[in-house]
Structure 1
Amino acid sequence: MADTIKEVKHKTWAEINLSALKRNYTAVDDLIGDSCRVMCVVKADAYGHGAERCATALYEAGARDFAVSSIEEALALRSAFESRLMYDERILILGYTPPENADILAKYAIRQTVFSTEYAKALSLAAEKHGCAVLVHFKVDTGMNRLGFDSNNSAVTKILEAASYTGIVPEGIFSHFACSDEPENPMNAEQLMLFLKIDKALRERGLTLTSHISNSAAITTTPEAHLDMVRAGIILYGLEPFYPFDEDDVLRLTPVMTLKSVISHVHTVRAGEFISYGATYSPKYDITVATIPIGYADGYIRAFQNGGGVYIGDSFAPIVGRICMDQCMVDVTGIPDVSVGDEVVIFGSDKEQMRRLAKIADTINYELVCLIGKRVPRIYTE
């Protein structure tokens, strides 16, 4: 059965260009210089691109630091590395892990984010019960108000206390910009100042840690925030961390994912007839409509019906009618030689299409790639 599945011709698929991924990593690595490391953020299945394949490709490109959201993601990643005889990578969990998992964290040398003395104590006690200690990165809340030691409330004292627990092995310290996608926002400078102040105070008290605060947007706009390490997320996958993004002055990114499908049916819809659920769309004249086997269950959400579409060759075919769970319809009137089986591109190398879809859905490109469902196979190319 497994061999048969591999041979199946897919109706809708996402092509993942690992060579483009490696080029994007190298561009970031070259930008930050030799004194700084790149932590590759591969949480949420590498933003929908496939964490295991992407992370091992990044390892081949030189990456050794990786960030995920959960212990489940970390263990899957560790297993993928070990199956390829890759053993020297460092994996950090950015989110919460129940302290009861301390022995698992220690066994697989997975770094855990610590964001309060209470959590640090619970994690340390759990580790001590198993005769082990957990590598940790302390998170400082400099304004995001999500997780972290409060930068305005004895953060230095509390981090030093947490670092003293016997089940804790301090390794790093980090924070997260709230507005780095708005380069001119004064909050960015305020957060960096707070973070540097705390890091300096800890060093003066004898606690020297690997420091990192820059995400994708800050990597490109704020070199003074590169510090010991940066966390590269969306830019690894060739997408813009904000818009407008002047690549000529910073990076030349290549989108890693191209979402494709095929035409399953072509027919004429006459003037006055209706298309799809709710009978919300009716052409004023006869049109040629193509059905595409992709819908909101695949991540091609209903919001896209208000201006979305697909490319057939160089021609854009707009969505007509409501997007269904498994299918959608596009107007191919005037596009020559459209046939069943023809390949269509939903998004890919044309960055303007991704911008258009994000604007239509009132969201960001991060969400669009993360939405692509599990039933859409990822086809990896070099």
Structure 2
Amino acid sequence: MAFRISLRSPSASKPDSVRKISASVSMCMGSGRSIEPLGEWYDRIQGSALLMDASFLEVDVAAIRRNYRRLRDLVGPQTRICPVIKGNAYGMGATEVGRVLQQSGASMLAVYDANEGLAVLQAGIRCPILVLGPDPVHLRGSPLRGFCNEGRVHFTVHGLDHWHRIRSVLTPDVTPIPLHLEMDTGLRRGGTPLPEFEKLVREIQEEPRVRLAGVSTHFVSSDRDAALTEAQHTMLRGEVQRLRGLLPQDLIVHVANSCATLGDRTTHADMVRVGQAWAGFGVEFLSDGRRLPMALDLEPCLRWTTTLRLCKRVARGERVGYHGEWTADRDSVLGLVPVGYAAGWSPFLSGRDGHIPPQVRLITSQGESWVPVAGAINMDQTVLDLGPALAAGLSPSVGDRVELITPNRQAPNHLVRLAAQAGLRPYAIACGIHPSVPRAYVDGHAEIETSFPIREGVR
């Protein structure tokens, strides 16, 4: 289920928590259908199970737009921008995010395989799609064929063997398919080995059913190893220069991922491929000396909230959770939220004795408090130690909002900080958030605090 939200003037007749974000909401399965004012939606379901148990992944599309504009300013007007929306746009919804990026001016949108590409094209996105993975390109009888005949699908070639398999399934009447030739300059994952590169260029140029549209590579460690990144770039650049007479004049050269885009202008070439950057991430992995000034202006666009389902007392010394991995060091109250690893809340975010536990934000009608995870993350639920909230004079209760992930870079539950505690990359957590968690697409002012009020007084 997805929700599309656009702000409008507040209504004075609603509680403060609603008036702050008076909006219209489109509740849909995949794409929007019916629209109603958020205040009416609040009235209709107030006190229902949806309000009590709601867990929402909020995606700030206004932040995505601003991030795109900042990336445009950073790379300049001559360099194309190809946002990467593979993995369902890093878990945020490829169709919704793709529309926003298309409207913002993206030259292309990159996906991993043809199935991902077909899904966004069938949703009405007109932007050309670049398939990054070694796709078999089976077009016979496929609904993708029509989009290919319009030149709206570009495929990446990963070596001679892959190319020969593609060529074997091309039909005589196919409109020339745009191909991008990826060179393996060190990642050793996909791409064309250097000894095959020239032969592959020649074979593609001799085949009338395809056209060479681009060449690329993928950096191994653009966030950490400037020397290796430069060596990879030099290898590709050298081959492009050496074979310039064989290559089309309108060839698109693209090498920069998000970290390279944010850290090294020399890698921008004809087009940059940015994934986590459009979502406001990536800059955290670059040292001050390797970070372009505008990179710091990117805004994280992701927020995940849920509610307290249960509160119960625990005595000092009692052990909590599977294997008793957390022990209460004082009399306290535990809070249960209905989110666990089945929803994508990583089991590596458990709170264990002897380790600094992850913290999330509890939002009550009296105020807010940071509260730690207590014990192991379960399949469908997580236990929180509400002791810090009690010490702050708050009275947590069932229905109070809990912010699991925040867009605030300084907060302990910022996605980058949580990922570091879990030993993961931020996008690994984002991609793992289950599709059953409703996405709420917020389109409004940056100062919005909460898209879905649970009850009066909650901010």
> In 2 relative to 1, CA 102–119 (structure 1 residues): closer, same or farther, beyond 3 Å?
farther
Percent of pairs with identical residues: 27
Equivalenced residues, count: 375
Rate the CA distance shift 1:176–1:248 in 2: closer, same or farther, 3 A. Answer: closer
Structure 2 CA distance, aligned partners of 1:243 and 1:235?
Answer: 11
Give TM-score scaled by structure 2 length.
Answer: 0.77
One-letter amino acid matched to 1:92: L
How far, CA to CA, are the matches of 2:405 and 2:312 in structure 1? 24
Taking a change above 3 Å as real, the CA distance of residues 64 and 331 of structure 1, as seen in their structure-2 partners, is same
Deviation for aligned residue 1:231 = 0.4
1:309-367 Cα distance to aligned partner (Å, 9 max, x none)? 31114421001111111111111114112121111111122225323311221111111
Q: Say if 2:422 is the partner of 1:361.
A: yes
Post-superposition Cα deviations, 1:53-103, rounded to whole Å, max 9, x if no partner, equal 0000111111231000011100001011x2xxx53x110100022243367
Letter in 2 for 1:269: V
What's the counterpart of residue 135 of structure 1? 178
User: What is aligned with 1:67?
Assistant: 110
Q: What does residue 203 of structure 1 align with?
A: 244
Contact 2:255–2:267 (8 Å) recurs in 1: yes
Q: Which residue of 1 aligns with 2:211?
A: 169
The 2-side partners of 1:103 and 1:222 are apart by 44
Of the candidates 181, 191, 201, which is equivalent to residue 223 of structure 2?
181
* Secondary structure class of the residue paired with 1:212: strand
Hey, what does 1:117 align to over in structure 2?
Answer: 160
Moved more, 335-344 or 222-231: 335-344
**Cα distance 1:15–1:245, how it changes in 2: closer, same or farther (>3 A)?**
farther
User: In the alignment, what sits opposite 1:107?
Assistant: 146
Change (3 A) 1:78 1:62: same
1:149 counterpart SS class: coil
Q: Residue in 1 aligned with 2:136?
A: 98
> In the TM superposition, what are the counterparts of 1:1-382 in structure 2 within 5 Å?
8-9=50-51, 11-80=54-123, 82=124, 86-87=125-126, 89-101=127-139, 104=142, 105-109=144-148, 110-151=153-194, 153-182=195-224, 184-208=225-249, 209-244=251-286, 246=288, 249-251=293-295, 252-306=297-351, 307-313=357-363, 314-335=368-389, 336-352=394-410, 353=413, 354-382=415-443
Aligned CA RMSD, in angstroms, stands at 2.3
Letter in 2 for 1:338: P
| Cα deviation 1:98-137 (Å, max 9, x = unaligned) | 2433674542131111122232233223223554432211
1:370 and 1:218 map into 2 onto residues whose CA distance is 21
Shift of 1:302: 1.6
User: Is the 1:102–1:134 contact (alpha carbons within 8 Å) kept by the matching residues of 2?
Assistant: no
Using the alignment, how far apart are the partners of 1:154 and 1:303 within structure 2? 42
C-alpha deviation, 1:167, in angstroms:
2.2
Q: Which structure 2 segments of 5+ residues have no match?
A: 3-26, 35-44, 352-356, 444-459
Task: Point out where structure 1 has 5 or more consecutive residues left out of the alignment.
Answer: none
Question: CA-to-partner distance for each residue in 1:161-185, whole Å, 9 max, x for gaps?
Answer: 2232232221111111111011x43
Higher helix share: 1
The answer (yes or no) to whether the contact 1:217–1:242 under 8 Å persists in 2 is no
CA deviation map 1:164-216 (0-9, x unaligned): 2232221111111111011x431111001011111222323343311100000
**Which residue of the partner structure matches residue 8 of structure 2?**
none
Question: Could you tell me which residue of structure 1 aligns to residue 456 of structure 2?
Answer: none
* TM-score, normalised with respect to structure 1: 0.91
The whole-number CA distance in structure 2 between the counterparts of 1:244 and 1:196 is 24
What is the distance in 2 between the residues matched to 1:206 and 1:331? Answer: 62
C-alpha contact (below 8 Å) 1:114/1:148 kept by paired residues? yes
